[in-house]
Amino acid sequence: MLSDKKLKELSDKLRYDFKDKTLLVTALTHSSYVNENKLKYSSNNERLEYLGDAVLDAAISDYLYFKYREVEEGTLTKERAAIVCEASLSMCGKALGLGDYLILGKGEEHNGGRERPSMIADAVEAVIGAIYIDGGWDPAKKTALFILENVIQKASVGQINRDYKSLVQEKYQASGEVSICYEVAKEEGPDHDKTFYIDLIINGKTLGRGVGKSKKEAEQRAAQLVYESGE
């Protein structure tokens, strides 16, 4: 577990002082640690990650809406998707040194979990979720914009990774409503080191399969494969 000194150190980096420090601890606790120590499910950061994902979407949407008052909806959507994606969140989390604070199981620690992009990105979302519960919307939005400041600046000048899921949606729905879904074809490996295989299905037809160490990564790779194939 993390010492009070380490928690204070991270709080200072986030520029947010938690009233309930257990929320920060939970945001940093990976399921591998919970599973190895037979703790209750709610001790890991997955629920906070779920909440933080929605808060980040809302915070960036709010920012872009008022920042670019004459920009159309489709462009705003692509901009947000480029900012709130695994690659961007991981980059910002690494800039904070977030991997050093993760609470991992021994297996995940041994397999380089502290450097894994998907794990760092998930922790960023969980931390934002924790701040939202601890302090509400305003500090959560403020912290989100602070953490993602460099990414937001790069996105504004087109220097950020492409979000292929958004590009696929835009491409295939240009001529009307189209059914687009991503389905897990299979999973391999132990819980602390899984590999996901995800199919991109459009109008009931599988057009591509992506592989990644997280579902988000595999979805992006499936979307990239389909988008760049020109089908």
Residues forming the active site: 53, 125
Angstrom distance (rounded) from CA 159 to CA 68: 18
DSSP code, position 29: B
Identify residue 164 by its one-letter amino acid code: Y
φ, ψ at 84 (rounded to 5°): -100, 70
Cβ(19)–Cβ(135) below 8 Å:
yes
Which two three-digit tokens encode residue 124? 């960023």
φ, ψ at 188 (rounded to 5°): -130, 150
H helices of the chain, in order, are 4-14, 21-28, 31-36, 46-67, 73-83, 86-95, 106-110, 117-135, 137-147, 149-156, 164-172, 215-229
* Nearest alpha-carbon partner for 56 in 131, 162, 168: 131
Angstrom distance (rounded) from CA 87 to CA 103: 21
Query: Which residue reads 């904070």 in tokens?
Result: 96
